[in-house]
Structure 1
């Protein structure tokens, strides 16, 4: 099927696995204005496309992503300029909220999103991958909350999502110091699921994981992501109540029937998109 075309991304769809690849390798995939918007458009497409059951987020070239494009950062003052300081500050707030929403589109996407990371993953790139369901890296991957070295507070998701991944104390250390974390340490901290060492192995392993997910019940996968996201942000009691409501509505599906029949016939189940 046809996939959308973008100026800063490439999107492919092969065997139910979508791949969204950052494609500004000459700029280390730094996130300019177009890329922010196109990330949201790409994951809205993944969400709305039944044939796309899971997505991989990757970066072209030596580095996954160097964070926000500094040229974009430098232009913000001009974008929000107004004779009234209050209106200028409101415009900046709206801009920040929009950038947050561009990345949150990954979290909103009903399909699992897997980040495959090589080289630099710093600043806004860390905000980006923290929205993903899982993160895997090559041995040369490095991570940093770089905003502190620019004299600014990270404001598009890292400070909200990272503590849930690596804990409060370690997040504070990285946010206050801006120090670099290598792939081995990132795996120990739980920032990434695995360090696959070689880049070619990273690519192959992430593709295999995505294909395993794509073979599962699409309805069950979407429900599992929804319930996990809800439960993360609510009490255990609220989470249990939520999943009871989900399964009351969706448990008795054609996917459940197909799974039972496939087990009886000793074959792989075949699920609808």
Structure 2
């Protein structure tokens, strides 16, 4: 693993812990963040030993969102022509979207552990994850509307699929802050925990359970669930039949069956 400026990355027991590591800046997402997260998830995809990813934030907060200083720097590149400015901004937005697409498209499950602030870009990030967990005192908000703009890095596209259209519109239009318990109540997070330590322990327990499963089976399951976001049930059934025509020949199936019959814990290859 490389040394990163905006992250700390650790690998233990098949779980990659990706920590946003700018606590003095409330883990605001600066230029390094957007490029490094792509490199990190490329490494995750390419490393067979990694079976699950946990994303958290160092210090008191998960993330306060996009670094305003970075946005201001982009504006300094504007010239007198509106069309050229628009083209520059469009390309920049697509680059930022690509950073969170790298999370969403990761072949392995990604779990977000949220505490403190999770604002603006923080929501974009966690909605690109497979599952989300939070402390009861976490504060989550889609802040872009208060900055005079529409969220453009994934929240408005992914959040309605997680919590439903009406609630997503309410949070996006008002920009109001919700706590961990309300986030759990609307389905934005799966579970809440009393404090940061309990959150990390709980999320790593879930990640460890996933890491103990067949990596072939877990990746296939994720691929099928992701495929179904944009396809009909019939399309999904056809796809999984084709997928499993190959994957059911995996050695993992025999290992799992033998372990089940002997009441032993299976040991799958990476």
- TM-score range normalised by the length of the shorter chain: over 0.9
Output one character per residue of 1:112-151: Cα deviation in whole Å (capped at 9) or x when no partner. 0000000000101000000000000011111101000000
Partner SS, residue 189 of structure 2? coil
Partner in structure 1 of residue 43 of structure 2 = 45
- Measure the CA separation in 1 of the matches of 2:218 and 2:108: 7
The gaps in structure 2 that reach 5 residues or longer are none
The alpha-carbon deviation at position 196 of structure 1 amounts to 1.1
Output one character per residue of 1:231-258: Cα deviation in whole Å (capped at 9) or x when no partner. 1221111111111111112112100011
Partner in structure 1 of residue 54 of structure 2 = 56
- Measure the CA separation in 1 of the matches of 2:139 and 2:145: 16
Partner in structure 2 of residue 32 of structure 1 = 30
- Measure the CA separation in 2 of the matches of 1:243 and 1:197: 39
Structure 1 residue runs of 4+, over 4 Å off? none
Equivalent residue runs for 1:196-235 within 5 Å: 196-235=193-232
Residue 67 of structure 1 contacts residue 122 of structure 1 at CA under 8 Å; is this kept in 2?
Answer: yes
Equivalent residue runs for 1:1-273 within 5 Å: 3-79=1-77, 81-273=78-270
Residue 139 of structure 1 contacts residue 199 of structure 1 at CA under 8 Å; is this kept in 2?
Answer: no
The alpha-carbon deviation at position 87 of structure 1 amounts to 2.2
- Measure the CA separation in 1 of the matches of 2:196 and 2:20: 16
- Measure the CA separation in 1 of the matches of 2:260 and 2:79: 66
- Measure the CA separation in 2 of the matches of 1:232 and 1:103: 17
TM-score (norm 1): 0.97
Output one character per residue of 1:151-202: Cα deviation in whole Å (capped at 9) or x when no partner. 0110000000000111111111111110001111000000000111221111
Output one character per residue of 1:49-102: Cα deviation in whole Å (capped at 9) or x when no partner. 1000000000000010000001011111123x2454322211111110010010
TM-score (norm 2): 0.98
Partner SS, residue 60 of structure 2? coil
- Measure the CA separation in 2 of the matches of 1:250 and 1:108: 20
The gaps in structure 1 that reach 5 residues or longer are none
The alpha-carbon deviation at position 266 of structure 1 amounts to 2.6
- Measure the CA separation in 1 of the matches of 2:174 and 2:212: 42
Q: Which moved more, 1:260-269 or 1:225-234?
A: 260-269
Partner SS, residue 125 of structure 2? helix
